[in-house]
Structure 1
Amino acid sequence: MPQPTDPYEDDLDDLPLARPVHYAEQSLLGALLLDPHRLADIGDLNAGQFGNHAHGALFQAMRTVPPPAPDLHRSDPAWLNTVLDAACPHAPGLSASYLHTLIQVCPWPRHAPTYARMIRADHARRTLLMHAERLAQIATDTTLPNPAATTLAQADALGQFLDTLAGQFAPHPGSLPRTSVPSAPAGNSCEEALDEERLLLATATAHPAELKNMRWLQPDDFTLPLHATVWQCLTTLAHNGEPVDPVTVLWEAQHRGLLADGLDPRDLIALVSTPVGSPEYWGERVLQRALLARAFDVGTRITSYAEDPANTPHQLITGSRRALADLTTLRTRWQRSTSPTPPPPRQPRSPAVSRAGPPPRATSASGRALR
């Protein structure tokens, strides 16, 4: 009969395919168990930055239990026992034998600050991965009441985290990640997206005057190249002051080579002949879909960077910032499309003119003297 396993037990002595940070954590803990006074040399490190829960609990216990006198610690293991007693309630898998293992595997206790820096770097990579995965997940969550605002808020949180990392890790040359990232999809060509684009094109054809206020929408925002080219036809006609209707759009499309690909002119006329609603509404829908698709792409790219342990913290910072910059232009156009139109500037008021009346009565000095 197999023996039941303790769900709280950590297999600390046999971790197959452990990452280098595991050995950095062991070496740091071994150095601190040998020389507790080195806690003052490792900088700002906390238990939550350890990848192994038991290691973090042991480190927290070291932070909590007052350090012993150096001379006493060499001859009396009382401090080790106190630390173990403080850590065991949070990590029952810890044992006295494992503390001795940590001491034995530490190469050089004086390298404790370097081991701590390795632990902080790996924690930064894991935290960046969490932020990036959350950005990609939010960008594709169809249940959110305001997906664009929620997605941009997560992008802000990711950007703030990168700013924090930039202050913790010194820059160095050659900082671009060399990770191969998956190519971005051509676009979300679901039927709902195509329907919104068709309604936008037809409604813009019926109300071309509103196109001049929709410069925030670009051809790259469309999921179908045909729709992007028809949008260019519409904006070109409107910009040049030409009449806009299904026939003029067809004529402009001919000049752009759309009909050379075998497109039936009747299909193109039908595409721009069923208006519903307003162009601004459908334009915002198209732009929001493009914004979310770009945010998903950014989250996927940063996830690829963070999953590659070959990237240094500064490579992660530089690559992630460049990825986020690709979202900035779309974000600016989205904010321009959704912000209310500012009221026209107020004309300066002319100075008040007093009503006509009798001139003020002047009293001469001689007249006052005669009174």
Structure 2
Amino acid sequence: MPQTPEADENNDLDLTPSPKPAHYAEQALLGALLLEPARLDDTEPLIAPHFDSHTHAALFTAIRTLPPPDPADHARDTAWLNAVLDQARPHAPGLNASYLHTLVQFCPQPKHAAAYARMIRADNTRRVLRAHAERLASTATDPGLPNPAASTLGLVDDIGRVLDFLAEQFAPHPGSLPRTALPAQVTPETGEEDLDEERLLLATATAYPAEVQQMRWLTEADFLLPLHAALWQSIAALVHRGDMVDPVTVLGEAQHRGLLTDSLTPKDLMELVSTPAGSPEYWGEKILQRALLACAQIVAARIAAYTNDLANTPHQLITGSRRALAEINSVRARWHRATAPIPAPAGRPSARPAPVPRAASPPHRPSPSVARTHR
């Protein structure tokens, strides 16, 4: 088993009970380079940030910085090894000569340096994608962001660029789809404010059905409550058929769709769609933004699951992550359609200036019987 240098308890080379394969690859590579410094050419394009261990990265930087020794001189004395130690120690205070000796002993085959370097780069790919997934999940759940959709989609673009870069570094191979069991989809917490937004959409859509015709970007999957999704479909169906829309006609459509139950009476349903505030598009955008952020959380969880599965190769990580991003990109397309300014005739301003909100009215909370009964 590899040993660690004699250092304080905070030294990052202290072994955990089960070190990852990359830990041993880092030790083997450094041992190979200490034995045969000329093998450094075999490690391209490996760089210090690819190492998981800070101390290993400091050693690798020292090896790359110092001119390689004459092979004959290197075989006779330890002058170059001492120079590497002196170069690295200011950046890794716990490093000592004993650990360099351990690395040399641990290397199985110096001629396999290129293979060790590939293992290190593969593990770095895993860590980089995991970090991006964690940041995406954190941003999508941050309530303090002024523009959460833009911030979240910016991180989605970052992940896409990282995947494009990584795809150029690792060649594809057969069987490139990850076999990782995906985490169970967590049902988002349903707050009263979120449900109020859905109720207000239904009421304003009933009051202003003309706007519903332009809201094909909103789907039933965006709603938290299945009843609200079904009622949205009922209203949209009336609008798209060109039928008259009011609380009574919505009640009739809901009846034909089998939405009326003992817990949802005709009176309850009509109350639900009879108190408008603001505009349908305003509430629809809020619902779609919530769905976008929820999708981002799912994507982040899937990418994290792929990176946590050590069986996945870099190309499998790339392929699986791209498939995950495809899901949020479909929601993104609908978000862009929802928020894009409406083109206006020449000489007139846009019908929908982007910075101006479409509803200034505060949410109206329906009566308790409507608010709590139909979940």
Answer yes or no: same fold by TM over 0.5. yes
Structure 1 stretches of 4+ with a deviation exceeding 3 A read: 5-9, 11-15
**What are the ranges of 5 or more consecutive residues in structure 1 without an aligned counterpart?**
347-371
Q: How does 1:132-143 map to 2 (within 5 A)?
A: 132-143=133-144
Q: Once the two structures are superposed, what CA deviation does each residue of 1:341-364 show, in whole Å capped at 9, x if it has no partner? A: 112369xxxxxxxxxxxxxxxxxx
Q: How does 1:83-94 map to 2 (within 5 A)?
A: 83-94=84-95
Q: Determine if the alignment matches structure 1 residue 39 to structure 2 residue 66.
A: no
Q: How does 1:167-246 map to 2 (within 5 A)?
A: 167-246=168-247
Name the TM-score, length of structure 1 as normaliser. Answer: 0.89
The equivalent of 1:282 in structure 2 is: 283
Change (3 A) 1:137 1:12: closer
Name the TM-score, length of structure 2 as normaliser. Answer: 0.88
Change (3 A) 1:11 1:126: closer
**What are the ranges of 5 or more consecutive residues in structure 2 without an aligned counterpart?**
1-5, 348-375
Indicate the larger mover: 175-184 or 94-103. Answer: 175-184
Q: Once the two structures are superposed, what CA deviation does each residue of 1:173-201 show, in whole Å capped at 9, x if it has no partner? A: 11111111222233442111100000000
The equivalent of 1:364 in structure 2 is: none
In structure 2, C-alpha distance between the alignment counterparts of 1:6 and 1:28, rounded to whole Å: 22
The equivalent of 2:110 in structure 1 is: 109
Maintained 8 Å contact 1:9/1:91: no
Q: How does 1:204-353 map to 2 (within 5 A)?
A: 204-260=205-261, 262-344=263-345
In structure 1, C-alpha distance between the alignment counterparts of 2:68 and 2:156, rounded to whole Å: 42
Q: Which amino acid aligns with 1:214?
A: M
Once the two structures are aligned, what percentage of the paired residues are identical?
63
Q: Which amino acid aligns with 2:311?
A: A
Q: Which amino acid aligns with 1:18?
A: P
Maintained 8 Å contact 1:8/1:91: no
1:255 to partner: Cα distance: 1.0
Maintained 8 Å contact 2:12/2:54: no
Indicate the larger mover: 74-83 or 173-182. Answer: 173-182
In structure 2, C-alpha distance between the alignment counterparts of 1:81 and 1:294, rounded to whole Å: 54
The equivalent of 1:359 in structure 2 is: none
Maintained 8 Å contact 1:298/1:324: yes
The equivalent of 1:355 in structure 2 is: none
Change (3 A) 1:187 1:265: farther
In structure 2, C-alpha distance between the alignment counterparts of 1:253 and 1:188, rounded to whole Å: 27
In structure 2, C-alpha distance between the alignment counterparts of 1:198 and 1:27, rounded to whole Å: 62
Q: Which amino acid aligns with 1:120?
A: R
Indicate the larger mover: 279-288 or 252-261. Answer: 252-261
In structure 2, C-alpha distance between the alignment counterparts of 1:253 and 1:197, rounded to whole Å: 16
**Higher Rg of the two aligned structures:** 1
The equivalent of 2:11 in structure 1 is: 10
Maintained 8 Å contact 2:32/2:110: yes
1:7 to partner: Cα distance: 6.1
Q: Which amino acid aligns with 1:280?
A: E
In structure 2, C-alpha distance between the alignment counterparts of 1:332 and 1:304, rounded to whole Å: 25
Q: Which amino acid aligns with 2:74?
A: H
Maintained 8 Å contact 1:13/1:98: no
In structure 2, C-alpha distance between the alignment counterparts of 1:13 and 1:240, rounded to whole Å: 70
In structure 1, C-alpha distance between the alignment counterparts of 2:92 and 2:329, rounded to whole Å: 44
Q: Which amino acid aligns with 2:338?
A: S
Q: CA RMSD in A?
A: 1.6
Q: Determine if the alignment matches structure 1 residue 130 to structure 2 residue 131.
A: yes
Indicate the larger mover: 301-310 or 24-33. Answer: 301-310
Q: Which amino acid aligns with 1:298?
A: V
Q: Which amino acid aligns with 1:328?
A: N
Maintained 8 Å contact 2:31/2:106: yes
The equivalent of 2:55 in structure 1 is: 54
In structure 2, C-alpha distance between the alignment counterparts of 1:37 and 1:216, rounded to whole Å: 60
